[in-house]
């Protein structure tokens, strides 16, 4: 019945079918480089801009003019190339309370768009720790890194947050006892929040949640949460992740090593989000989740771009670095 009900094409005729400039940008205080992506929205898809200019103003003063980048030269921007979105890069410093304005033009001034964002204050991140534990699940024995992250909600209003954890490492590859190379990198950690009432799937999208999108569970890919259950109080988040393995780092040495020595650390970041940024990530999260297929209502992406469409957001993360003991990784099959 569900499959039959879904197979019902409807003609869509919006009142405004003109082309629009798309501008997407997720900025972060302290980042070395900021990126703004431009494209042209049409009724049939996205067109690449032929030329573009992006300017960044901080508190009314010009802070930077972005430079167009080749998506092929930036691995993290490869997806932009395949979706016809062109990246523009700039450097600028931001601080809490700053008003940041992005102004973009494309195709010789035929298209214009802008967005204004206010940098939120740092969240109050208190105790942060991690412990490596071994658990038996059925017949399998697995090792997990379990975090304890305490966040204080000091603002009585409705607040929104994001938690992210990354693994920073310096690795040395060995083959037959001889060092064959070194590598530095950063890996974004997938967080298992199934046992955490604030971050868990059920807490994120359950019918009991005040801002639930669906009545179907959707994994919390972006680690977002609100202070719905701890307004004005503190809460301790307890997600876990899998430790880095030999095979995570082996590509850096062309799979030619038989042992990798790693100096690693976890970088724990918590940011306050604007309400629109929270719902933007929640909508994108739903699009990536399995429940999007069964959604009975449209998934709407917030738009805060004047003169065009898209989204611009800003995070101001509070960080903690958790140093880990030096480890030696060997292949496992």
What pLDDT sits at residue 43?
83
What pLDDT sits at residue 74?
58
What pLDDT sits at residue 292?
47
Asked whether residue 272 carries a pLDDT value surpassing 90, the answer given is yes
User: Strand, helix or coil at 146?
Assistant: strand
- Cα–Cα distances in angstroms (integers) from residue 257 to residues 83, 173, 181, 185, 263, in the given order: 36, 6, 9, 17, 16
- Residue range 280-301: average pLDDT? 68
Alpha-helical segments (H) within 131-182: none
What pLDDT sits at residue 225?
94
What pLDDT sits at residue 9?
55
Strand arrangement, sheet containing 52-58 = 61-65, 52-58, 99-106, 111-118
SS3 content of the chain, % helix, strand, coil (to 5): 15, 45, 40
Asked whether residue 81 carries a pLDDT value surpassing 60, the answer given is no
Asked whether residue 328 carries a pLDDT value surpassing 50, the answer given is yes
Asked whether residue 213 carries a pLDDT value surpassing 50, the answer given is no
What pLDDT sits at residue 16?
66
Considering only residues 165 and 284, tell me which one the structure prediction assigns the higher pLDDT: 165
DSSP state, residue 15: S
Tell me whether residue 283 is exposed, middle or buried, using C-beta atoms within 10 angstroms of its C-beta: 0 to 12, 13 to 18, 19 or more.
Answer: middle
Asked whether residue 215 carries a pLDDT value surpassing 70, the answer given is no
* pLDDT digits 0-9 by tens, 230-251: 999 999 999 999 999 999 999 9
Strand-strand pairing, 61-65 and 67-68: unpaired
What pLDDT sits at residue 207?
40
Mean pLDDT, rounded, of the chain: 86
Within 8 A by CB and 6+ apart from 331, the residues are 246, 247, 250, 258
Write down the pTM of the prediction.
Answer: 0.85
Asked whether the beta carbons of 196 and 241 are under 8 A apart, the reply is no
What pLDDT sits at residue 18?
85
Asked whether residue 15 carries a pLDDT value surpassing 90, the answer given is no
Percent of the chain with pLDDT over 70: 82
Range with the largest mean pLDDT of 84-88, 155-159, 263-267, 295-299: 263-267
What pLDDT sits at residue 205?
47
Return the closest-CA partner of residue 124 out of 200, 32, 232.
Answer: 232
């Amino acid at each position: 019945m569900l499959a039959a009900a879904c197979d019902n094409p409807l003609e869509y005729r919006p009142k405004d079918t003109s082309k629009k400039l798309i501008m997407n940008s997720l900025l972060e205080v302290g980042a070395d480089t900021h990126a703004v992506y431009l494209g042209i929205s049409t009724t049939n898809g996205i067109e690449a801009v032929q030329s573009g200019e992006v300017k960044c103003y901080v508190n009314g003063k010009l802070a930077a003019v972005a430079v167009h980048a080749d998506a092929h030269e930036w691995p993290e921007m490869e997806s932009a190339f395949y979706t016809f979105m062109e990246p523009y890069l700039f450097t600028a410093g931001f601080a809490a309370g700053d008003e940041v304005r992005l102004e973009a033009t494309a195709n010789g001034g035929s298209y214009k768009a802008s967005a204004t964002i206010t940098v939120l204050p740092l969240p109050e991140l208190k105790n942060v720790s991690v412990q490596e534990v071994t658990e038996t699940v059925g017949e399998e024995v697995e090792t997990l890194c379990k975090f304890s992250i305490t966040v204080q909600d000091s603002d009585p209003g409705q607040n929104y947050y994001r938690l992210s954890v990354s693994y920073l490492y310096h690795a040395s590859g060995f083959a037959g006892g001889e060092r064959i190379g070194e590598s530095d990198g950063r890996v974004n950690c997938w967080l298992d929040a199934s046992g955490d009432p604030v971050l868990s799937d059920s807490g994120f999208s359950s019918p009991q949640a005040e801002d639930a999108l669906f009545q179907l569970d959707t994994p919390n890919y972006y680690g977002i949460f609100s202070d719905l259950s701890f307004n004005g109080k503190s809460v301790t988040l307890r997600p876990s992740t899998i430790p880095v393995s030999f095979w995570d780092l082996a590509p850096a040495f062309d799979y030619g090593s038989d042992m990798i020595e790693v100096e690693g650390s976890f970088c724990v970041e918590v940011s306050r989000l604007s309400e629109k940024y929270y719902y933007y990530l929640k909508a994108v999260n739903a699009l990536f989740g399995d429940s999007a297929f069964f959604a009975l209502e449209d998934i709407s992406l917030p738009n805060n771009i004047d003169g065009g469409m898209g989204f611009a957001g800003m995070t101001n993360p509070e960080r903690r670095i958790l140093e880990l003991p030096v480890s030696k990784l060997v292949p496992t099959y």
